[in-house]
Amino acid sequence: MDNATLNRFYTLHFILPFITAAVIVLHVALLHQYGSTNPLGICSNIDTVPFYPYYVLKDLFGLSVFLFVFGILVFYYPRALGHPDNYIAANALVTPAHIVPEWYFLVFYAILRAIPNKLGGVLAMVASIGILFLVPFLSKPKFTGPVFKPLHCVFF
């Protein structure tokens, strides 16, 4: 890790929220222009609900609830979601034995530990993400709506 790497990661972490916000605005604009599909997966305008005021008010209510809970956590309980090991004083000469990756990296950590070859572990990690891109092509049913999938309806 050098200064150039840190600068690039800082720039990525600074730019990424703006890119995410732009994609969300684009998604909402396209949803407003073309509408969404109905449960049967058939294109028709019989039972459509207007985007405004129904979905706008619903999203504003959800956003206000989220901001309220977020504000409570930030202003009244800022350390509630922190790990206790983060408050141990750092020692540059000793690597602690309790270091584990965050929860979202645990799957990749397990893949790396399960495969003794480094290149094989990296290839397995890339394959575990790459396989997700194949999921839409695995099955193309004639009717795509959840009405024709009873198990999906039960869990939904």
- Among all residues, which ones are annotated catalytic? 32, 36, 58-59, 102
Beta strands in the chain (DSSP E): none
Q: Name the 3-class secondary structure at 80.
A: coil
Token look-up 């222009």 returns 33
Distance CA 67, CA 76 (A): 14
Beta strands in 38-83 (DSSP E): none
Which residues, 6+ apart, have CB-to-CB distance to 124 below 8 Å?
111, 115
